[in-house]
Amino acid sequence: MDVQGRREIRELSYPDSLRLLATVRFGRVVFTRHTRPMIRPVNHLVDGDQLIIYANLNLVPVPTGRQVVAYEADTISHATQLGWCVILTGTAEPIDEPLELRRYEQLIDPWLPGSRSRLVRIEPDLITGIELVQRW
Amino acid sequence: MDVQGRREIRELSYPDSLRLLATVRFGRVVFTRHTRPMIRPVNHLVDGDQLIIYANLNLVPVPTGRQVVAYEADTISHATQLGWCVILTGTAEPIDEPLELRRYEQLIDPWLPGSRSRLVRIEPDLITGIELVQRW
Whether residue A9 is contained in a domain is answered as: no
User: Chain A contacts of B39, Cβ < 8 Å?
Assistant: 28, 30, 39, 70-72, 87
Whether residue A1 is contained in a domain is answered as: no
Whether residue A36 is contained in a domain is answered as: yes
Tens digits of residue pLDDT in A83-132:
999 999 999 988 989 999 999 999 998 899 877 778 999 999 999 999 99
pLDDT at B57 over 90: no
Whether residue A76 is contained in a domain is answered as: yes
Residue A47 has a pLDDT of 97
User: Chain B contacts of A72, Cβ < 8 Å?
Assistant: 28, 39, 41
Whether residue A2 is contained in a domain is answered as: no
pLDDT at B59 over 50: no
Residue A59 has a pLDDT of 43
Question: Minimal CA–CA distance to B94: which of B71, B117, B113, B128?
Answer: B117
pLDDT at B104 over 80: yes
Q: How far is CA A118 from the centre of its chain?
A: 16
Residue A57 has a pLDDT of 44
Q: Find, in chain A, the residue whose alpha carbon is nearest to that of B132.
A: A112
Specify the range with the lowest mean pLDDT, choosing from A102-106, B19-23, B28-32, B63-67.
B63-67
B27: domain CATH number?
2.30.110.10
Distance, CA of B111 to CA of B54 (rounded, Å):
11
Whether residue A41 is contained in a domain is answered as: yes
Tens digits of residue pLDDT in A14-63:
999 999 999 999 999 999 887 789 999 999 999 999 999 987 644 455 55
Residue B7 has a pLDDT of 81
Q: Write the CB contacts of B64 (distance below 8 Å, at least 6 apart in sequence).
A: none
ipTM: 0.89
pLDDT at A1 over 50: no
CB contact under 8 A, A109 and B4: yes
Q: How far is CA B126 from the centre of its chain?
A: 12
Alpha-carbon gap: B68 to the closest alpha carbon of chain A (Å): 7
Q: Do the beta carbons of residue B40 and residue B59 sit within 8 Å?
A: yes
User: Taking the CB of residue B98, how many other CB atoms lie within 10 A of it?
Assistant: 8
Tens digits of residue pLDDT in B71-94:
999 999 999 999 999 999 999 988
Question: Minimal CA–CA distance to A72: which of B124, B98, B99, B31?
Answer: B31
| Domain that includes residue A109, residue range | 23-131
Question: Considering its fold, how many domains does chain B have in total?
Answer: 1
Alpha-carbon gap: B56 to the closest alpha carbon of chain A (Å): 15
Q: Find, in chain B, the residue whose alpha carbon is nearest to that of A33.
A: B37
Whether residue A3 is contained in a domain is answered as: no
Amino acid at A14: Y
DSSP-derived letter for residue A56 is P
Whether residue A116 is contained in a domain is answered as: yes
Chain A interface test: which of B30, B82, B88, B109 (most A C-beta within 10 Å): B30
User: Chain A contacts of B89, Cβ < 8 Å?
Assistant: 36-38
Residues of B with CB under 8 A from a CB of A: 3-4, 7, 9, 24-26, 28, 30-32, 35-41, 68-70, 72, 74-76, 78, 81, 85, 87, 89, 109, 111-113, 130, 132
Q: Write the CB contacts of A110 (distance below 8 Å, at least 6 apart in sequence).
A: A42, A43, A54, A116
Given the DSSP bridges, would you call strands B83-94 and B7-12 parallel, antiparallel or unpaired?
unpaired
